[in-house]
């Protein structure tokens, strides 16, 4: 089973993933915890490039999209597909929905570019995607408490509003795969929502 976790900044993805990881381990499942961008040594280097704020030039939106997909391709082929082939449960902190939300809706890139990449490089989609949804202000306050903001977190509110709308669009488009969790609730309640959805 392949489960991804999505949402805007500071909605509590990491906490939920940690809890589900522990839950799957307790139930005797072999489970792989991973994230995007990243998840392999090479993809983590690409992540560092994507999140860094100290570049001497502005990163073009197309460059950002291609870096995200370079990392994804490495991650999918080196980590996700092999784990699934061994019947492991894969929990990924973000996957391809994030590219629609951030690069297409957030940055305003042409959706055809994303579709071209998805068709050619995303050979496996998650079975379940948990979308942790909360008002942007709530999440940004949590992100600020964590410390220095990365290149994405430094974006303005209207960027994150578009990202959230992107997730809402995907949720309506793929109701059989994407499960919305009310991330304004506390950690335990969010975890219970996720367990209930897993049945």
**Sites of contact with ligand TMP (CB under 6 A):** 9, 36-37, 68, 93-94, 98-99, 102-103, 152
The least CB distance from residue 193 to ligand TMP, in Å, is 20
Sign of the torsion formed by the C-alpha atoms of 108, 111, 113 and 119: positive
The least CB distance from residue 30 to ligand TMP, in Å, is 24
| CB of 86 or CB of 130, closer to ligand TMP | 130
| CB of 87 or CB of 112, closer to ligand TMP | 112
Are 167 and 6 spatial neighbours (Cβ–Cβ below 8 Å)? yes
The least CB distance from residue 28 to ligand TMP, in Å, is 28
Beta-carbon contacts of residue 20 (< 8 Å; ≥ 6 apart): 3, 91, 191, 194
The least CB distance from residue 98 to ligand TMP, in Å, is 3
DSSP letter assigned to residue 199: -
| CB of 103 or CB of 129, closer to ligand TMP | 103
| CB of 29 or CB of 146, closer to ligand TMP | 146
Q: Which of 100, 116, 94, 37 is nearest to 71 (CA)?
A: 37
End-to-end CA distance of the chain: 14
């Amino acid at each position: 089973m392949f489960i991804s976790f999505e949402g805007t900044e500071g909605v509590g993805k990491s906490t939920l993933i940690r809890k589900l990881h522990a839950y799957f381990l307790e139930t005797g499942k072999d489970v792989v915890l991973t994230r995007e961008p990243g998840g392999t040594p090479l993809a983590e280097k690409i992540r560092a490039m994507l999140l860094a704020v100290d570049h001497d030039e502005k990163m073009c939106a197309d460059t950002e999209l291609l870096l995200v997909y370079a990392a994804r391709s490495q991650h999918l082929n080196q980590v996700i597909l092999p784990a699934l082939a061994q019947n492991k449960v894969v929990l990924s902190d973000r996957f391809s929905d994030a590219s629609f939300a951030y690069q297409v809706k957030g940055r305003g890139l042409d959706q055809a570019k994303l579709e071209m990449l998805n068709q050619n490089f995303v050979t496996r989609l998650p079975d379940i995607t948990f979308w942790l949804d909360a008002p942007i202000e709530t999440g940004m306050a949590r992100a600020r408490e964590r410390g220095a903001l990365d290149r994405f977190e430094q974006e303005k509110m209207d960027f994150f509003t578009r990202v959230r709308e992107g997730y809402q669009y995907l949720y309506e488009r793929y109701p059989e795969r994407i499960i919305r969790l009310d991330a304004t609730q506390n950690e335990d309640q969010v975890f219970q929502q996720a367990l209930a959805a897993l049945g």
